[in-house]
Structure 1
């Protein structure tokens, strides 16, 4: 079982996001759509700072890599 981490509290204590807007957003939450987007950005930055983004599975990039030229050659 993974430990539940309060990432907002951890960011506030670390000081990485410490201007007035970001502090208010972390303490009170998002009030509209754009603030929610920015909160998501802050979470992704937190994951990169902590190195948690390396735990994500790799994107499958091998399937749709053919070019339009190859496509037209297959049709002929």
Structure 2
């Protein structure tokens, strides 16, 4: 997943939870302008820890995933992975 895709996904989470960019900035410690640029895809680098903090606000975490198309067995194993 690209940084632009992450930004789009995060924007959807933020809006679905009824938060403004300013509220998210206050909760996460990430600058509001950086959040705006992240969501709109106008940022080339944000830093893993900031992206991780933003998603953590909504109970989400970043996890590595293979770029290959998963098989049915892969999907079953992923669902069975201990949480």
TM-score w.r.t. the length of structure 1 is: 0.35
Q: Which has the higher contact order (CA 8 A, sep 6+)?
A: 2
Mark the structure with the bigger radius of gyration: 1
